[in-house]
Amino acid sequence: MKINRHGRAKVLTQEEIQLLFNSGLQSDRDRALFGVCLYTACRIDEACTLNTADVYTARMRVRDEIIFRRHNTKGKLAARAIPVIDELRSLLFQYKPTTRTGFLFPGRHDRGHIKSDSAARILREACYNLCLEGVSTHSFRRTALTQMSNAGIPLRVIQEISGHRNLEELQKYLEVRPDQVRGAVSALSMLSHVGNSYVVKSLYSDVSSTPDTGTLESNTI
């Protein structure tokens, strides 16, 4: 978990996501910005540098896909088109961009785009007010990628969404929960070197093998 900007960004629970979007983030712009990060699994820089035209039509309707332009992606490898799901669409519908052209999330005094450092400061303040630790702007990306992996989505498909150069880089983002580790180890019970009867008996080894005749007799009186 990330503490004082060190370590890995926390993977958010559903309760923490609801807290952030319903109580922590204070403006439609901030909810839209981090909603883009969560529901497209993009990097914070990619969200900050979006153009309004990448998300909205000329009539200011939310597009069916968000376009992340090649020159705004890490390594400038390739453009990505990510479908807009209903949860993100509602956040973008509530957000009212100040202009039809230029950056979707303008910087101060409408100069350029909002900086990733400014977005990080907004998130830190929200998390501080909610007493959430370990959360950073990268948490939304890690949360989205981990959620897709846990849902059984093939890694190659997730890579197409995340824009990672290779699967090895992608796998570093994915969180493995303790219950998943326990479930994986429990599968080894199929390799038991003893019979089932022994296993069952050992589970109840603290139970006496002779019946409690005293109890039986008292029940027949």
Q: Is the pLDDT of residue 75 over 80?
A: no
Please state the three-class secondary structure of 157-201 as a single string. Answer: HHHHHHCCCCHHHHHCCCCCCHHHHHHHHHHHHHHCCCCHHHHHH
Q: Is the pLDDT of residue 61 over 80?
A: yes
Helix (H, G, I), strand (E, B) or coil at 3: strand
Helix (H, G, I), strand (E, B) or coil at 51: strand
pLDDT digit string (tens) for 131-167?
Answer: 999 999 999 999 988 888 888 888 888 888 887 666 6
Residue type, 204: Y
Long-range pairs, 111-116, Cβ under 8 A, ≥24: 113/48, 113/49, 113/50, 114/33, 114/48, 115/48, 116/44, 116/45, 116/48
Domains assigned to the chain? 14-158 (1.10.443.10)
Residue pointed to by tokens 């969180």? 175
Which pTM value belongs to this model?
Answer: 0.74
Question: What is residue 180's predicted lDDT score, i.e. its pLDDT?
Answer: 65
